[in-house]
Amino acid sequence: MSESSSNQWCTIESDPGVFTSLIEKFGVQNAEFAELWSLDDESLANLGPKVFGLIFLFKWTRNETSTGTCLSMEDIPSDLFFAKQVTTNACATQAILSILLNVEQKSDGDNSGGLVLGSTLEGFKNFTGSFPPDLRGEAIGASEEIRTAHNSFAKNDSFLAEQKQRKAEEDDDVFHFVAYVPYKDGHVYELDGLRTGPIRVGAYEGAHAWLPVARTAIQERIEKYAASEIKFNLMGVIQDKRIELNDKLKMLAEAGLEDEIADVKAQIMAEEEKRKQWKLENERRRHNYLPFIIQLLKEVAKSGKLEDMSKKASDRANELKRKAEERKAMLAKKQCS
């Protein structure tokens, strides 16, 4: 798909603060992202009472295969949202939409704490409801509101801004996002825009019983990689943690349990501080540090230390490159043996 510069999508960082702010720009309410460092039962339970889906980031390879079989067009549930990825760099937002647009929606103003899409995504879902997967992918790429929200997290780097998009080369690390969602038909689906259709990874019963099913599918993906590969990231799309805490606070206040009230208030404060930190980090991501860097280099040059520091940095970079090539050769030798 050819894209003009005005229609290009930037790469965005896989980070819970970035993704939470992104969906809030879409108009989504009552949801946030939480990073998972483990797939054990305790980590999954800590996600909270409402988990809408999981997003898995992994290093994509040309020979990438899944353990399941893609459903044909005739077998895809009629109201399951699945879109083909036809836009470069849109896989993060596409995986997010694959979860949001498959959650049972609550109306604006709903007080139950359920996920609210908002007018932008609600309108998009209704508009593309009858589209086949490839046209849904085209609609995502053509949506100015979605693209603008996505690109608002582009790094403010004058050098990067001048670079044209290029195709990934053989040695480049290419990363991709896929989504895992529980669906009302009692199955968990893997939604990958690079596939021809959704993959039904297993059946479940009960609200949280879908998480172990998704965990098994993710573990099977991870096990396909060499033991040295650690470049994975997993996040849950969950209910805003402040909702449950405020509900708990209200119940404790009615019961007059002062000690427990103080503990819950402290947890709410921690959540608010987390949000403030996310906001600060997102502002730093957008900030253009280039003028500061140029001025710093000028001052270092005036002090006469620039040449020596440049040589040390070059030597260190060459050493790191040499070690990386040695590790790559060792892995290739092990695979051959």
> Over the stretch 220-238, which tens digit does the pLDDT of each residue have?
888 876 555 667 899 999 9
Confidence of residue 165 (pLDDT cuts 50, 70, 90): low
User: For 90-133, how does the pLDDT look when each residue is reduced to its tens digit (9 = 90+)?
Assistant: 999 999 999 999 998 755 555 566 899 999 999 999 999 999 99
* Catalytic residue set: 91, 176
| Residues in CB range of 282: below 8 A, 6 or more apart | 17, 18, 21, 153
Contact 82, 133 (CB under 8 A): yes
Q: Among candidates 150, 34, 16, which has minimal Cα distance to 91? A: 150
8 Å CB contact between 316 and 184 = no
* Angle, helix 144-151 to helix 133-142, in steps of 10 degrees: 60
DSSP 194: T
**Torsion sign over Cα 319, 321, 327, 329:** negative
- Give the number of other Cβ atoms within 10 Å of residue 204's Cβ: 18
pLDDT digits (tens, 9 = 90+) for 255-295: 888 889 999 999 999 999 999 999 999 988 888 878 888 88
What is the Cα–Cα distance from 216 to 214, expressed in whole angstroms? Answer: 5
**For residue 47, is pLDDT > 80?**
yes
Give 178-195 pLDDT, tens digit per residue.
999 999 999 999 999 999
pTM to 2 decimals?
A: 0.81
pLDDT digits (tens, 9 = 90+) for 301-324: 899 998 899 999 999 999 998 888
Q: What is the largest CA-CA distance in the chain?
A: 71
